[in-house]
Structure 1
Amino acid sequence: MRTSSESPWAAVAAAGVTVVLWASAFVSIRSAGTAYSPGALALGRLLAGVLVLGVICLVRRVGWPARAAWPGILCSGVLWFGAYMVALNWGEREVDAGTAAMLINVGPILMALLGGWLLGEGLPRRLLAGMGVSFAGAVVVGVSVSGSGHASVLGVVLCLLAAVSYAGGVVAQKPALKHAGALQVTFYGCLVGAVACLPFAGVLVSEAARAPLSATLNMVYLGVFPTALAFTTWAFALARTTAGKMGATTYVVPMLVVLMSWVALGEVPGIITLAGGALCLAGVAVSRRTGSAPAATPAAGAGSR
């Protein structure tokens, strides 16, 4: 539960942890995706996340979420933890990086629009301007690192589905955080997503039997850090700011991916790529200067946030 002594920078720090771990996920997905199909990879990642979060909930004696939180948990679990992960894994196999960057990064814009409409967050001009600059930077980064320029109609549809699922899941999660803690919302959302992906269980078992250890370890990493930890810190930060601002913050991810690929994979970024990353950062800086969100309503019986 949020206390009056909580630092206003706690949400910023939590969001920072989220974007760094989500950026690292792109490197791990490259490895795991060579051995695991999109649905199996999503299910394996979610099962690892459920296991870690379940243990933490048991240790901390986290209780059952309030009834009022369940509509948001169920919706975000199916849309974001389930549909988004499968669609993203599949879509990025069908389109080049530039097209994927343009389509997937529509998500934060949809998030701001839905948040303004459904959650009454409004649409501050600085937020929209900053997101426009960041979106342009994300497209520049994607195009600059594209290969053959391949894009299929199926891939475009899947990336758009991922963007819509992402935005819808976040907007659904926001009200749930008024009635439950970040750990509760993340654990049960992840569990709902895993249940939704159970049709891929047979494929996961067969692929795991012949997958190299490195691919399986990367899948487990995706479940433990970019899912269990990063989605929890995301929920913590989302409870303390608007969906629009949180969506804008994710535009830091393309620049971080470029830097991580440089360090981990030896992929030296070009001038255009760095310029696109700078645009992403500039846009986030503008969008974050839109004023403070109202304080989150403490969750009754939700436990520590």
Structure 2
Amino acid sequence: MDIRMAAAHLLVILLWGSAFAGIRHGLEGYSPEHLSFLRLLVGSLALFCYAVISKMKLPEIKDWPVIFLFGFLGFAVYQTALNFGEQTVSAGAASLLVSTSPVFIGLLGKMFNQERTGKWYWSGALISMAGIVLISFGAGGGFELGIGVLLILIASLSESLYFVFQKNYLEKYGALPFTAYTIWAATIFMGFFAPGIGSQIAEAPLGATISAIYLGLFPTVVAYFAIAFITAQSGASEAASSLYLTPAASFIIAWIWLGEVPAIITLAGGVITLIGVSLTYLKGRSEMAGSSLEIKG
């Protein structure tokens, strides 16, 4: 691995790992839906500038309904559900819950693409569920927390739907243009929450606004450029391999940024969850490895 590849991997791990702490910080000044809208708006503007410079073509009109659906699932629902979930779930625990997406991806592949799921997949799924239970207990337990965990799992499922069905469109348009299309579509959906954003910006602490801008520029845009570079150089499996370190980076960044110290039971649940997720890959399916680029926050 040359220095450029190593730097790209490190950039993805740090940016996507930092997103969960950034969300917690942004929520100190913004409602979950306004934070999602502002993040997507910033990302959309940055991608619009890139589109103009690179002379990016618009997608075919016949694909617009599908692109809007992907934008709704992959960004609008994902980010908003994650934001609501992180009101009661720590940044580190949220990153671990999101990392269960490969389990959902395997199940969706079996349901819609008739992909085979063997003993390794089902063993990994059961182990991951046990880890999720421990993470829930470690974060404090109780009904309110249960809702937070459920919302983050819904976010993970929504993101999994996005990754399972996007393959043909990635091949048609390319990773960066397709990502731009879906983020623009998601921003239009989240524009429903635009009323009141001005007053929230005026009233929010400066740090929360900076976090929202950071989320829109770096985890939402820059990380995807790094992923695109890795994929172009070495393939999707290589791009996916280092993302197992994202939850670890999330815990460290949340500790430094927010002062969040994870409970021992949360760490134990995280280890068990990641072991379970890893087992789903032992089937040796390159499709699943390529679809695992979802641990992003």
TM class, shorter-length: 0.7 to 0.9
Distance 1:30 1:208, change over 3 A: same
- Deviation of residue 148 (structure 1)? 6.2
Q: TM-score, structure 1 length as denominator?
A: 0.74
Secondary structure of residue in 1 paired with 2:110: helix
Deviation readout 1:195-244 (Å, 9 max, x if unpaired): 000011122111001111111110011111111133455677789558xx
The separation in 2 between residues aligned to 1:230 and 1:179, in whole angstroms, is 21
In the TM superposition, what is the alpha-carbon distance from 1:101 to its structure 2 partner? 7.7
1:279–1:160 CA distance, 2 compared to 1 (3 A): closer
Matched-pair contact (CA < 8 Å) for 1:135–1:251: no
Which protein is richer in helix relative to its size?
A: 2
Q: Does 1:181 align with 2:189?
A: no
Share of identical aligned residues, percent? 36
How far 1:82 moved relative to its partner?
0.9
Letter in 2 for 1:143: F
Query: Please, which runs of 5 or more residues in structure 2 have no aligned partner?
Result: 288-297
Note the C-alpha offset of 1:280: 4.1
Measure the CA separation in 1 of the matches of 2:99 and 2:135. Answer: 12
1:266: Cα distance to partner? 4.0
Alpha-carbon distance change, 17 to 66 in structure 1, aligned in 2, over 3 angstroms: farther
Question: Normalized against structure 2, the TM-score is what?
Answer: 0.75
Cα distance, 1:250–1:204 mapped onto 2, change above 3 Å:
farther
Q: Which ranges of structure 1 fall in alignment gaps of 5 or more residues?
A: 1-6, 295-305
Q: Does the aligned pair in 2 maintain the 1:66–1:180 contact within 8 Å?
A: no
- Contact kept, 8 Å, 2:93 with 2:266, in 1: the verdict is no
Note if contact 2:93-2:135 (Cα within 8 Å) is conserved in structure 1.
no
Q: Structure 1 residues 292 and 90, CA, compared in 2 at 3 Å: closer, same or farther? A: closer
Mapping of residues 137-176 of structure 1, within 5 Å: 137-144=131-138, 146-147=139-140, 149-151=142-144, 155=148, 158-159=151-152, 161-176=154-169
Q: How does 1:76-91 map to 2 (within 5 A)?
A: 76-91=70-85
Of residues 211, 217, 231 in structure 1, which corresponds to 2:210? 217
Counterparts of 2:7 and 2:111 in 1: how far apart (Å)? 27
The residue type equivalent to 1:91 in the other structure is G
Instruction: Answer yes or no: is the 8 Å Cα contact 1:100–1:142 preserved in 2.
Output: no
Q: How does 1:259-278 map to 2 (within 5 A)?
A: 259-278=252-271
Change (3 A) 1:90 1:200: same
Alignment partner of 2:192 out of 189, 199, 220:
199
Higher relative contact order (CA 8 A, sep 6+): 2
CA change 1:20–1:111 in 2 (3 A) is: farther
CA drift of 1:113 comes to 1.1
Deviation of 1:122 after TM superposition, in Å, equals 3.3
Q: Deviations over 1:100-141 (max 9, x none)?
A: 789766644222211233245432543443454445445434
The one of 4, 14, 25 aligned to 2:19? 25
Structure 2 residue aligned with 1:73? 67
Displacement of 1:70 in angstroms is 4.2
**2:33 partner letter:** G
Code of the aligned partner of 2:55 = R
SS of structure 2 residue aligned to 1:177 = helix
Contact 1:49 1:227 (C-alpha < 8 Å) held by counterparts: yes
Residue of structure 2 equivalent to 1:116: 110
Contact 1:84/1:163 (<8 A) preserved? yes
Q: 1:210 to 1:265 in 2, by over 3 A?
A: closer
Q: Residues of 2 paired with 1:68 and 1:204: CA distance?
A: 33
- Cα distance between partner residues in 2 of 1:112 and 1:182: 22
| Matched residue type, 1:65 | P
Q: What SS does the corresponding residue of 1:183 show, helix, strand or coil?
A: helix
Secondary structure in structure 2 of the residue aligned to 1:35: coil
Q: Distance in 1 between matches of 2:86 and 2:253?
A: 19
Residues 35-77 of structure 1: per-residue CA shift (max 9 Å, x gap): 1011110010001111222222222222223567545422210
Q: Tell me whether 1:126 sits opposite 2:120 in the alignment.
A: yes
1: distance between equivalents of 2:260 and 2:74?
A: 30
